[in-house]
Amino acid sequence: MGPRGLGPALACCLLLAFACGPVLGRVPHAQLEQQQQQGTREPPLDHAERDEEKHEKYSSRQEEEPPASRCFRCCDPGTPMYQAIPVPQINITILKGEKGDRGDRGVQGKYGKTGSVGARGHAGPKGQKGSMGAPGDRCKNHYAAFSVGRKKPLHSNDYYQTVIFDTEFVNLYGHFNMFTGKFYCYVPGIYFFSLNVHTWNQKETYLHIMKNGEEVVILYAQVSDRSIMQSQSLMLELQDQDEVWVRLFKGERENAIFSDEFDTYITFSGYLVKPATEP
């Protein structure tokens, strides 16, 4: 290098030394703080004081909020890698369709268990008076009565004979059959019956009042030199279609009842005392 080149080089070195001198002679700030701390170092703390100081140090750091302009590296722990994207909201009322047709009715379900009887409610207000009803049927009274007679005498035979009557005094509703000589019950209840005959001289009188083929009472008169009037009466409780009549005993003995065409000596009567329908 010639003399001409040496001069500018020295000038450059001087300028560089002048510019970098203060920078090279400056002590770093961290080193300066360390030297000051070493100069003013306090006595060492015990184990409990160090833990308390460490707790206050870290707790104060957690309370401090990071500056808004702080930058994060992708490798730092707890750093969000991606920004949260809000979930899109769909207005569902826009997607609602038209109302459909009504469906068919379903099958009826099973009946539930019967609940307990509730308490009796309060009595309601008195209702209005109803209208008058239609007139009822006329009161029906039940009657039954008959009275018949015989004008011909009758002698016994080798069989039982039903006494047939030829004279009708009263026969209400025809309950007494003049052909069969029997009374037929059409109104159940309690009846009164009466039989009157005239005996024959020197003959026995032997009759029964019958009910449905059974002997109920007897009318009897012994043999006598004179004839007399003989009677028998009773009350019977009859059911529907029961039969009552007079029977002459068969001819084991001389048995007869007297009468003639001019007078009626033999009579049979009966009537209803109390129907069964009445209390």
Q: Give DSSP secondary structure letters for 27-77.
A: PPHHHHHHHHHHHTPPPPP-HHHHHHHHHHHHHHHHHSPPPTT----TTST
**What's the pLDDT band for 49 if we cut at 50, 70, 90?**
low
pLDDT tier at 279, thresholds 50, 70, 90: confident
Interval 64-81: pLDDT, tens: 455 555 665 666 666 555
The mean predicted confidence, pLDDT, of the chain is 78
Give 7-41 pLDDT, tens digit per residue: 556 665 566 655 555 544 454 555 545 555 554 45
Using CA atoms, how far residue 127 sits from 36, 118, 124, in Å, is: 111, 24, 9
pLDDT at 43 over 80: no
Tell me the pLDDT band of 269, cut-offs 50, 70 and 90: very high
Q: Is the pLDDT of residue 82 over 60?
A: no
- What is the pLDDT, as a whole number, of residue 99? 80
Q: What is the pLDDT of residues 89-123, one digit of tens each?
A: 766 666 667 788 888 888 888 888 888 888 888 88
Band the pLDDT of 188: cuts 50, 70, 90: very high
Q: What is the 3-state secondary structure (H, E, C) of 95-164?
A: HCCCCCCCCCCCCCCCCCCCCCCCCCCCCCCCCCCCCCCCCCCCCCCCCCEEEEEECCCEECCCCCEECC
Does residue 163 have a pLDDT over 90?
yes
List the single range of 6-10, 57-61, 221-225 with lowest mean pLDDT. Answer: 57-61
